[in-house]
A and B are shown apart, each in its own frame.
Chain A
Amino acid sequence: MVKRIALAQLTSCWGCDQSLLDLHLKLLDVLPSLDIVYWPAVVDFKVADLESMSNHSIHFGFVEGSCRTKEDVHLLKLMRQKSKILVAWGSCSVYGGVQGLGNQWELKDLLERKFLKADTITEGRIPDENLPGFTEHITPNPDIVDFDAILPGCPPTSENTAEALTALITSKSYDLPDKTVCDQCPKERKEKKIKKFYRTHQGHIDQNKCLLDQGYLCLGFATIGLCGAQCPTVNAPCKGCFGPPPSIKDHGAKIISALGAVADMPPEELERAFPDPLGSFYFTDYASSYLSKIRGKQRSKKTK
């Protein structure tokens, strides 16, 4: 039976869509079982078409991106209403994404930087005509509506999406593996005792050895193993863009406690090595951290 699928883009980079297209010839295997009823990146149906569909008439709804605007919130709720199975697709959708780092500031600071103070701006103003308006902060989608499945990744690999999609088409459940990037990494690991941390541009990287063992902040140990360890394989430290494995609740908290255990240095030195803990430990999932949620609550109280 051909299944009806909708893919909706909230605020995002559309890398998840490119990743799906990157199945290339394998798309030809998947497409015959799908009737695409909404996918603005590729197909011409409009929001009004989506609004006019009956509730739960879409078999699979994929939502990528996070709610930076009020229109995003509307589209998210609409997708929930129309879809039988709703999938949070990609790290923006699951955790808020890189734009969640904006939660470190107030909305007015973000607006001011972009629309009033940019170097090239000749006459600043905050645009507001025929526009949806911004949300005060990024809230991860699963805190706004219920999802039936989540697939993190920045972006999920083409294979990740194909696997999830195939499971759905064949009515199988799709569960995330409780393994880490290290489980997939080809580099040789030893017992860790880090004497000094290096920044990625520094020094000479030994291609055969574990990057963390060499003192580079590679977050593979605390990051879900779905990506095939693409980054450490090419000597680029894992930044944790797929988020933690299911058993870890707060990505950054786990990273900090684990680093404390393997760093052979006084705590002050460890602290000095990472002057930007939020950027370093919560690359795409700051919005879903306890820290951001506490800040969000304080913000809501203030505005009430």
Chain B
Amino acid sequence: MTEREKTIKIAPVTRLEGHGELTVKLTKTGKVKDVQFNVSSTRFFEKFLEGRFAEEAPRIAPRICGICPEPHHLAATKAVEAAWDVTPPPAAIKLRRLLINAKQFSSHALHFFALAAPDFLAGPFGEPALRNVVAIIKAMPDVGKMALEMMQFGQDLAAAVGGKAIHPVTSIPGGMLNPFSEEKRDLFLKRVGQAKKQTLETVTLAKKVVQDYWDPITKLAVTPTYYIGMHNKGNLEIFDGNLRVMDPKGKIVADFKPKDYRKYFGEYVPEHSYATHIYYLPAGYPAGIWRANTLARVNVADRMATPIAQEALQEMRDALPRPIHATFAYHWARIIELVQAIEEIENLLKDSQIVSKDTKLSDVEPKKGDGVGCVEAPRGTLLHHYWTDERGIITKANMVVATNNNIAGIEKSLMVAAKQIFEDKAHEGLKFPDPMIK
């Protein structure tokens, strides 16, 4: 028992993209009084997009996130195309799908190996100096090398399609500025087999981690919430589809076109975070708090879009019933999506239309209107909404970025975990394996 109120601060929260701090307030008797996830910066893109040429938004908006610029590049393009009533050629859509899957692949590999794996390989009680990807590379060179090669495959492919991997440039209202050459396609067709093999090895590695950490995965921070994610006729989808909302009991309570988002998306401004909390509007706040990102997507989708990923999903659903509320299962879901990404990439590379020269319209005209562009970023549902004047200049922008769909859910799961740890000393009772790196 502590004798006075206590505040625990983790500043900054590390191994995440963005600026966040964690504040846990404990009462005199050691009860958890408050948990805050303080997102401590923001840059006001919504404002400084005003007055810009709308076709430049796909160049400006990627700067929101250097880890996942491709989804912003594409959501921005789709929003402008919706506002101007433009339909790009089919080959351009395939290139965009290739681009977003390349990013999904590299981001998921990065997240699994560099952001998440250190917790599992060095263990939650491991030394900070050992709890990072650099230590993994030193201690487990084979795994480290595989991780680096997988990330590189995704980033190289994103650069080949997008012009550059970080802040891509080729997508434009009306199509893609640069066709994909046969030489480049052949180069990646040669590499995709190895990347797929490594993905399946990662699945095996992830399954071992799941087995080793079964106790904390199924007991710690299990947090029922709503879920939001994209699907296409029930298949898990990241580029273009409807959005579904699932309630904490697993019932699909909404299924709608992204352009109608304002009927379903509420945005709560907390006092303690510059990132707002997006929630399911009809249920109100905080009851309607939802989560996005990998687990949310596999929860709302009926099935994966590709066969090996579907097998992996079935294995997960056999072990944990849908909807899965176990926060640590996000990592498992990430690996299932990694499989879908590599299968999608392989299919697209084998599609003869991917090297079509017909990738861009030449008669696109701006008009006054508004448009919504929505994709799934690796970290969740991402939506851009722009209004343009008759010259095609942005007069207003609203954006719901992936992380904001998750912030309230993160905070809620942190509250669950904090209560378990500070009040019930759950970490002492849970079974943890011996760390692989020590």
Partner-B contacts on A (CB < 8 A)? 9, 11-19, 21-22, 24-25, 27-28, 31, 36, 40-48, 68-69, 71-72, 97-99, 101-102, 104-105, 109-111, 113-115, 118-132, 154-155, 199-205, 207, 230-231, 233-236, 239, 241, 275-276, 279-280, 283
B287 smallest CB distance to A (angstroms): 13
9 contacts between A and B (CB under 8 A): A13-B67, A13-B69, A15-B69, A15-B167, A18-B166, A98-B60, A114-B46, A115-B276, A202-B364
- Chain A residues within 8 Å of B14, by CB: 40-46
Residue total for B at the interface (Cβ-Cβ under 8 A): 89
Judged by a CB distance under 8 angstroms, whether B110 is at the interface is yes
Complex contact B271–A128 (CB within 8 A): yes
B65 smallest CB distance to A (angstroms): 5
Complex contact A42–B44 (CB within 8 A): no
Residue from B166, B172, B269 with most neighbouring chain A CB atoms (10 Å): B166
Taking A231-B169, A241-B167, A279-B53 as known contacts, 7 extra A-B pairs with beta carbons closer than 8 A to each other, sorted by chain A number, are A15-B63, A21-B151, A22-B155, A40-B12, A120-B278, A123-B269, A132-B41
Q: Which residues B153-197 have CB closer than 8 A to chain A?
A: 155, 163-167, 169-170, 172-174, 177-178
Partner-A contacts on B (CB < 8 A)? 10-12, 14-19, 21, 23, 36, 38, 40-48, 51-53, 55-56, 59-60, 62-67, 69, 110, 114, 118, 128-129, 131-134, 137, 145, 148-149, 151-152, 155, 163-167, 169-170, 172-174, 177-178, 261-262, 265-274, 276, 278, 281, 285, 360, 362, 364, 385, 391-393, 398, 400
How far apart are the CA atoms of A124 and B18 in the complex, in Å? 23
Complex contact B128–A118 (CB within 8 A): no
A-B contact count (CB 8 A): 250
Complex contact A114–B42 (CB within 8 A): yes
Complex contact B274–A131 (CB within 8 A): yes
Partner of B36 from the list A105, A130, A275 (CB cut-off 8 Å) is: A130
How far apart are the CA atoms of A122 and B270 in the complex, in Å? 11
B265 smallest CB distance to A (angstroms): 5
A113 smallest CB distance to B (angstroms): 4
- Chain B residues within 8 Å of A204, by CB: 362
- Chain A residues within 8 Å of B174, by CB: 201
Partner of A279 from the list B52, B177, B266, B391 (CB cut-off 8 Å) is: B52
B410 smallest CB distance to A (angstroms): 16
How far apart are the CA atoms of A44 and B274 in the complex, in Å? 23
- Chain A residues within 8 Å of B262, by CB: 119-120
Look across to chain A and name the residue whose beta carbon is closest to the beta carbon of B399: A118
Look across to chain B and name the residue whose beta carbon is closest to the beta carbon of A10: B41
- Chain B residues within 8 Å of A202, by CB: 362, 364
Complex contact A127–B269 (CB within 8 A): yes
